[in-house]
Structure 1
């Protein structure tokens, strides 16, 4: 029988457990400081925790709870981990280094059920949600890749899976990231990405903590989005935009709209103009993302001139638009690619579900 994950416990739950174990409640905060602030990898490194409490912790819990299956390092300094949990399921997380920041990208599910046609994460479907502790484990393992004088500066919940489909387990992880007794990151440094689940966007807004919200739009019309993001058939752009508008009204956080550029599919001048009309009255930022190549998909990113023209058209509508810098291209740093490669090596038949037809351009 495997041990539980310590970070599946909230601060209050850890306090209750510590007291039940016969120790003072303040020991819970000491334990959390060791985990989130001092980067220990073993309970025995918590030298100001009584030996009897350390023994009880070892008897009941895992500290990090994930095994690093693969660790890849890009020429640009990006690092990617493929992690495996006790049930042998795998997920991915990424550390992206810049001169003035260390941004990490973490996953919320094993696989994804949204079915976006350009994305490796969902090619084999969704297996299960990650627990709160498993989400935090990714953050802690990435944090331990940094030197003693470095810290995580930004977190994006943008890896494998649809974050808001697992909001129940994501919310405690977000709170731990934000609270001073956890990672102590300001809400403006934490971004939650979603394909657009209106009811869940409202739930996130109801936390009354102004996390950044990024909506994965990828198309300016329902007709085209139905082809690129199949779940849109059940949601519709109008409801997504209304939920995003409400989120902005409640939190004051400008919404980012992500748009993966697919050559010959959603990158034409008319698509840029339609997107401009859609967002012109909104306080919005468009983050354009040239598609990461996935070997099993016959879609590609547009050329640099085509991308520039798309940006210029958007800006003619007074839309704030930028193109995301590609990081870790040489290590397949886009979410889902490393797991797909690993599973395919173990079972070549796993490749069979991953050849969806390209969406129509008409």
Structure 2
């Protein structure tokens, strides 16, 4: 009898998306077939401390049923704790962990930092690699890559926090010379719409900049585009496939954190009500964007569909999107014929396949 695949689920983190990660991780653990997998939770709390095994489970209180907690707890002796002088890190017995599922959103998880650590440790892991994670996370770099790939997008500019602190008037003048109000302001390296605001005048512009620089040293300014928001899920390694696109009809002025996770009033339509040729173009461009950053595993690619002329513009790519069974990524695949549990299975398979492929490359002469 083949032994079960041992999957360490890594979740939490120090980013502003910590709570989103907890929901995603609990959904992943619930979806794993106990006949196929042994699950080992590893949490990172908001202070950056690593909490392996039973120490991780309190963070999921109220998100996992008692039977899930009991099943996980019975498998945990394989995990130990080793001090590294700056908090605790999980000490893996390398032959007893098959793959890590890092369900981390935002900085310190989706940005290539954890992926780099796992590469050095030579452990298979789910999702994008170091390069794709870092580029996908940075809205400025990803926009530049998409531009070079020939993908149309809206106008943007950016500046650093240090530049704002040095000469805020020059930054304001630069923005007002390039754009008409309203504009969108975003931290360059954050997700889940944290720190994003819409500015309709100079006073709101300054307020939005102060909000954005709380979260990142780099701020992106984007033109306002009167558009519908279309998203598509991509799955795969070298030969990725795209789901049926869906549309977000936000309950707020734009799809902010509150509209995504709090009020529950936003409407999701899958498939999006667009002409068939537009839907197919969005799917093709999603795969093109995915390949442009050399992504693997999964991503959600977001587009604008202009209301005035039907033009399609790429907005951004998310290499570890919200991943509950109710998240847009999972819902789009469900409507495309792939269940949530099948998604989890496929992502683990893709991680192991990519790891095996990497072993074919020489690391030294």
TM-score (norm 2): 0.29
Higher strand share: 2
Structure of greater relative contact order (alpha carbons < 8 Å, 6+ residues apart): 2
